[in-house]
Structure 1
Amino acid sequence: MRRAFLFLPLLASCAPGTNNFSTTQSISVTENMPEGFAPWTDAMPPYRFGPGDKVKVQYLLTPEINETVLVAPDGSIALRTGVRLTLDSRTGEEASEAVAEASRRVLMHPFVTVSLDEPGAAVAFVGGMVRRAGAYPVTGRRGIAEMITLAGGLEDSARMDQVVLIRRSPENRPMLRTVDLRGFISGRGTEADVPLTAGDIVFVPRSRIAEVGLWVTQAITQTFPFSRSFSYAINRNNPGNLL
């Protein structure tokens, strides 16, 4: 079942242009539309190639034309066989099939494997109430706390108990969950130690989750690759936790 979550803001909670935000209000989720976020899964999505990645292209039957190439800024690669195609946002399996198909112009039986040699596009986006919002490299095992540290730490008005994590599912659909960074820091839980992967969005709200939608629209629309058929708002009359 496809889902979306709509959070409707109370008009009285904050007048436009003011900073009268509460940082302790409860937040609930109301399902309103048949499309949107997929159910959260901890299964790590496959890596998708992007500009700056170095990839290995290996031919099983003709290893003499194996090579390592850099994904260009436009997301494409050019091979010595004359093949040129786009790898941007493709998985290794998808890229292997695409190169094999394109190589049939010069090879009779192209059995091809395309794999990541060195990541260059592995970044996570950090925004909201952090000191230096932006894209930061995902190298090794980095959790939300480490990524926020890279972003200069939290602003004084940050809401730590409901940090938002948005990720693409293995089926390339957006998923959303929140983590209690305050609880993690105080030793009450380890959920904020979620290992991040390329393309993740970490958003630290000031007071309410409605700000996530605004930030995604302003900062991510042109760079984040999945469809954003969802919207945000708040319902304070029906307290609950966002899962």
Structure 2
Amino acid sequence: MLRTLIGLLGLILSASVVQAQGGYRISPGDTLQVEVLEDPSLNRTVLVLPDGSLSFPFVGTVQAGGRSVSSVRDALTSGLAPQFAARPNVYVAVAATALPEFPGPEIAPVTDDIYVMGEVNAPGLIAARPGTTLLQALAQSGGLTPFAAGKRIELRRRNQVLYYDYFRTGKKPSVGGSTVLIPGDVVVVPQRRLFE
């Protein structure tokens, strides 16, 4: 008698929950509360994974994303049925929904303004990421033109002029290709002389 009363109470509660959640489609990130009347050790809160699936003992993986609550309940009931003598009473409710993604202000990546001028294929301002090297800045500006004096590349930093030899011809330049650029640096690639 008590079992019948509990079952009837469960059906009434289930009907009201189904009416409230009938039109809702489950989404990845939702949390479902699953209760099995015949075996309370199976009662648990289940997270719907990013691929829309959920995992449940004795059932395995069930596709929940895009389905209604009653459809997921039926799938869990069918999966658990072989474990019980009679068809189990399974109740499923949405405990929490995934938070919607609100479009917020776009955060621009942090960049340093570096200027490259002269005999490069794309001279001008380069929005370089922090840690960009001299050689990377030259590559980002399209590389050297055929008329570039690669032995005399200048790095102008504040009040000083530093030299870089792209071809490493043996002269000791003041900076190397792995020199990290700082905001405001200007890289000048001069034009080759007649017999250079």
Fold agreement, TM-score > 0.5: no
Bigger radius of gyration among the two: 2
What's the TM-score bracket when you normalise by the shorter of the two chains? 0.3 to 0.5
TM-score, with structure 1 as normaliser: 0.31
Structure richer in helix, relative to its length: 2
TM-score, with structure 2 as normaliser: 0.38
| Higher RCO (C-alpha under 8 Å, 6+ residues apart) | 1
